[in-house]
Amino acid sequence: MAVVDDASLIRESIGLLMPGLDVVAAVATVEELVRRAPAVDVVLLDLHLANLEQQPDARQGIAAIRTLTRHGYRVCVYSQEERRFVLAACLAAGASGIVSKALPRDRAEQLFLDVAAGGTVVPQPVVGILEVLVRRDCITLLSERQRQILHGRARGLSYAQVARELFVSESTLRGYWFDLTKSLSGSLRGLTPGEIERALGLAPGDLLEFWADPTEEADGADRKEWWRIGGRGGR
């Protein structure tokens, strides 16, 4: 896997601290990774990459995710960003997983491996948003079983607890969740901010602060505005 983080200490130490990961590239910018084009299963991406001293114009946030996915990479965001609409916007932009830097090391490592294996890691706040979108018929789930799993996971229940409630094995349930999150993320990418605003009861335009315009070109002239999340930083 590859690591993109402007904090050198983090990008250099991940491979050492997480022995289960094979880090073949650790770079400070998305542009550098694209230039080197390593063959990896997943790219760990920090959301905030621009800094005034070293790389003021570095591509970051939604733009960074889009750039990487356009080049065929699976992206796992690794950030301390907590705002749920920002996290949801990352999934909508194509990220396959979002892992908080606040998680314990071994748990984060396991989630990276899940994404590398083709899974989708959805943080709990975004699971809550997805449940609302499903309940408001903004995203259609075909089976009752999928709804039941989402119901349990949205309440924070573990795989084992949901599996017991549904009388299936934990491994079976993990498989269901694997497929479900992939399906939900795909559905999320197909929604417009307006549709999400209506489903969540937000006022028109409330999501503009978080959601990038999908029609914008990633390399456009107003690149610095791609990350329109303002306010407090996520590091």
Partner 1 sequence: MRIRSGLWRVAELPTTRAGVERAFSYFTAGVRLGTVAQMVPAVQLGAARASHEAGYLACWGAAALAAVAVSVVTLVRRRPPGTAVSVLDFGLACALLVLGPLVLAPWDRFGTWTAFQPGYALSVIITAGGVRGLGVWAASLLAVSLSYVVYLGGDVGSEMTSTAVGNVLTYVVYALVARMFFGYTRRIARDADASRARAAELARREEERRAQVMMHNGVAVMRLLTEQGDDVSRARLVGQAEVELRRMRSYLRGGDAYASEGEGPSAGLVPVVRRVCERFADLNVVASLDLGTGLRIPAAQAEALERALGSLLLNVRVHARAHEVVVHLDGTGEGGWTLTVHDDGVGFDPASVTAGVGLREVVVGELRRRGLAVGIVSAAGEGTTVTVRSRPGPEAAPPPEPALPTVRAAFADAP
- Contact positions toward partner 1, by CB under 8 A? 102-104, 107, 124-125, 127-129, 131-132, 135, 154-158, 160-161, 200-201
Closer to partner 1 by CB, 64 or 127: give it: 127
Tell me the two tokens of residue 189. Answer: 């990418």
The CA distance from 218 to 234, in Å, is 21
CA 171 to centroid of chain Cα atoms? 23
Closer to partner 1 by CB, 36 or 107: give it: 107
Least spacing, CB of residue 12 vs partner 1, in Å: 26
Closer to partner 1 by CB, 37 or 160: give it: 160
Contact 69, 75 (CB under 8 A): yes
Least spacing, CB of residue 45 vs partner 1, in Å: 22
Least spacing, CB of residue 82 vs partner 1, in Å: 9
The CA distance from 138 to 1, in Å, is 34
Least spacing, CB of residue 108 vs partner 1, in Å: 11
The count of other CB atoms within 10 Å of the CB of residue 2 is 22
Closer to partner 1 by CB, 46 or 197: give it: 197
Closer to partner 1 by CB, 38 or 125: give it: 125
Closer to partner 1 by CB, 18 or 129: give it: 129
- Transcribe the chain into DSSP letters: -EEE-S-HHHHHHHHHH-TT----EEES-HHHHHHH----S-EEE-S---BTTTBTT---HHHHHHHHHHTT--EEEEE----HHHHHHHHHTT-SEEEETTS-HHHHHHHHHHHHTT--B--HHHHHHHHHHHHTTSS----HHHHHHHHHHHTT--HHHHHHHHT--HHHHHHHHHHHHHHHHHHHHT--HHHHHHHHTPPTTGGGGTPPPTTS-TT-TTGGGS----SS---
Least spacing, CB of residue 136 vs partner 1, in Å: 9
Least spacing, CB of residue 199 vs partner 1, in Å: 9
Least spacing, CB of residue 230 vs partner 1, in Å: 20
Closer to partner 1 by CB, 143 or 158: give it: 158
